[in-house]
Chains A and B, each alone.
Chain A
Amino acid sequence: MKTLFTLILTLLIISQVKSQDKFLTKTGFVSFFSHSLVEDIKAENNQGLSIIDTKTGEIIIQLLMRSFMFKKALMQEHFNENYIESSTYPKAIFKGRILNYDQLVNEDLVAEIEGVLFVHGKEKEIKITGEMKRDSDELILSGDFMVEVADFDIKIPTIVVNNIAKIVKVSFEFHHTPYK
């Protein structure tokens, strides 16, 4: 009886210190790139919030749409006002799981990530192959994937249909540090 009680108590303590297994960054890098014959559009966001639980492999990434910086101010305004409608849909969120997170020891890992991407009030299941690295204290996750603009109900008027790619490349790099 007593041993069972101690065991459970130990379990409880272990579960309390599990926060060591969480890794966080608030300065994650995310960019997207749209290539078309008329023009290339690129935007960068350096304020990505990402959190990983290495115990379960769960990952949540959150981005503020307004933090995407464009070269041309007018592009940025149109992105926020006309396309992504960031006053109505301020955030992009990815909720997923790193399927093979348990293989991460010290060497690099080709991470298989599955989850749901929420953008512009729509959600879509996506699969991402990323690269995961442990560098002293840091847990680095990087990679890229393609998204179809039409999947997220983002309307492109016919007049600029040649300016914006139908499939946009998203690149990311997160340097997580242990969360305390």
Chain B
Amino acid sequence: MKKIIITIFIVGFNITGFAQDLELILAQETVNETTIVSATFKGTRLLNGHSVETRKKETFEFLISHRFGRINSGAYNLFGLDQSNIRFGFEYALSDNLTVAFGRSSFEKTYDSYLKYRLLQQKKGEKPFPFSITFFGSATEKTLKDYSPDKKPTFTNRLTYTSQLLIAKKMNSNLSFQFSPTYIHFNTVRKIEDSNDVFALGFGGRMKISNRVSINGEYYYSLNPFKSINAQNSLGLGIDIETGGHVFQLIFTNSRSMIEKGFIAETTGNFFKGDIHFGFNVSRAF
């Protein structure tokens, strides 16, 4: 009798187990895939500097950036808005991992061209990888005629090279950090006491406050700043606003230049003394 009760119990358990069975099989068959952690940052810029992000293959992106004059220049200059630097940039993604670009800044009439290559991407799942790593390399040419006619520099004299390793981690959907070791080589420096090679460490992050708005911060610490111009470390604080294919970035920074060699090595403003430039980046991806 006991045996029968046990058997009935087992059979009953098997029949009622139908619904659970399906879910069990479903759970077994769900593969723990390795997925790429995407959208560490909204745009290809953290603020002044680049983020690890690159656009997907065949995306063309047009960027317009402005930095106004110093806010502490007073009401006469409308708190810096009378002066404006502009940079136009064109970026094209040859592949999901490789972007090439060209830009021109009104500040010192500088042309810049760069490439960005994604070396590694943060992954989660079965084979996780903790960081995203992107290489950034640029060459810039200053064309401002700020020399005496008899001392005309050559094209090579005015070249500057920047190499950066951008290392970022998306902590969760709202919080991301980036560490950016930087090496800049100036073919020409102003004074003998300035080194041709400048090293800097960049730190940055973003925190989303809604799905489409985030607060960003970025700081570049220079290990051997230019002495002749009493170069300062670059600090930027800003807000990212995303709408459709646009990313708007509103920025407060002590740097006037919008290219790496300029804001990392040649910033002269002191953020905490009010030498702050208001500015924005607008990007449109096609």
Q: Are A53 and B21 in contact (CB under 8 A)?
A: yes
Q: Are B7 and A9 in contact (CB under 8 A)?
A: yes
Q: Of the 9-residue stretches B24-32, B68-76, B83-91, B264-272, which lies at the interface with chain A?
A: B24-32
**Distance in Å: Cβ of B54 to nearest Cβ of chain A:** 10
Docked pose: A8 CA to B245 CA in angstroms: 66
User: Using an 8 Å CB-CB cutoff, how does the interface string of B1-40 with A read, 1 for contact, 0 for none?
Assistant: 0011001101100110011011101100111010100110
Q: Are B29 and A12 in contact (CB under 8 A)?
A: no
A136 partner residues in chain B, CB cutoff 8 A? none
B172 partner residues in chain A, CB cutoff 8 A? 87
Q: Are A56 and B18 in contact (CB under 8 A)?
A: yes
Partner among B22, B35, B57 whose Cβ is within 8 Å of the Cβ of A60: B22
Q: Are B4 and A163 in contact (CB under 8 A)?
A: no
A87 partner residues in chain B, CB cutoff 8 A? 172-173
Docked pose: A74 CA to B25 CA in angstroms: 35
B19 partner residues in chain A, CB cutoff 8 A? 56, 58
B31 partner residues in chain A, CB cutoff 8 A? 26
Q: Is A88 in the interface zone, CB < 8 Å from B?
A: yes
Docked pose: A168 CA to B174 CA in angstroms: 28
* Residues A1-40 near B (CB distance < 8 A): 4-5, 8-9, 11-12, 15-16, 22, 24, 26
Docked pose: A77 CA to B172 CA in angstroms: 15
Q: Are A80 and B243 in contact (CB under 8 A)?
A: no
Q: Are B22 and A53 in contact (CB under 8 A)?
A: yes
Q: Are A85 and B211 in contact (CB under 8 A)?
A: yes
A105 partner residues in chain B, CB cutoff 8 A? none
Q: How large is the interface on B (under 10, 10 to 19, 20 to 34, 35 or more residues)?
A: 35 or more
* Residues A21-69 near B (CB distance < 8 A): 22, 24, 26, 49, 51, 53, 55-56, 58, 60, 62, 64, 66
Residue of A nearest to B56 (CB): A73
- From known contacts A73-B59, A85-B173, infer whether A159 and B243 are also in contact, taking CB-CB under 8 Å: yes
Q: Is A160 in the interface zone, CB < 8 Å from B?
A: yes
Interface size on A, residues (CB 8 A): 36
- From known contacts A8-B11, A81-B39, infer whether A51 and B285 are also in contact, taking CB-CB under 8 Å: no
Partner among A8, A16, A58, A159 whose Cβ is within 8 Å of the Cβ of B22: A58
* Residues B209-231 near A (CB distance < 8 A): 211-212
Q: Are A81 and B211 in contact (CB under 8 A)?
A: yes
B25 partner residues in chain A, CB cutoff 8 A? 22, 24, 51, 179
Docked pose: A80 CA to B245 CA in angstroms: 15
**Distance in Å: Cβ of B51 to nearest Cβ of chain A:** 14
Residues of B participating in the A interface, judged by any CB pair closer than 8 Å: 3-4, 7-8, 10-11, 14-15, 18-19, 21-23, 25-26, 29-31, 33, 35, 38-39, 55-57, 59, 96, 172-173, 211-212, 242-245, 285
Residues of A participating in the B interface, judged by any CB pair closer than 8 Å: 4-5, 8-9, 11-12, 15-16, 22, 24, 26, 49, 51, 53, 55-56, 58, 60, 62, 64, 66, 73-74, 77-78, 80-82, 85, 87-88, 157, 159-160, 163, 179
- Can you pick out 25 interface pairs between chain A and chain B where the beta carbons lie within 8 Å of each other? A8-B4, A9-B7, A11-B11, A12-B10, A12-B11, A16-B14, A22-B25, A49-B26, A49-B30, A51-B22, A55-B18, A56-B18, A56-B19, A58-B19, A73-B55, A73-B57, A74-B285, A81-B173, A81-B211, A82-B212, A85-B173, A88-B173, A159-B243, A160-B243, A160-B244
Q: A4-B4, A74-B56 are in contact. List 9 more A-B contacts (CB 8 A).
A: A11-B11, A12-B14, A53-B22, A56-B19, A58-B18, A62-B30, A74-B245, A82-B211, A85-B173
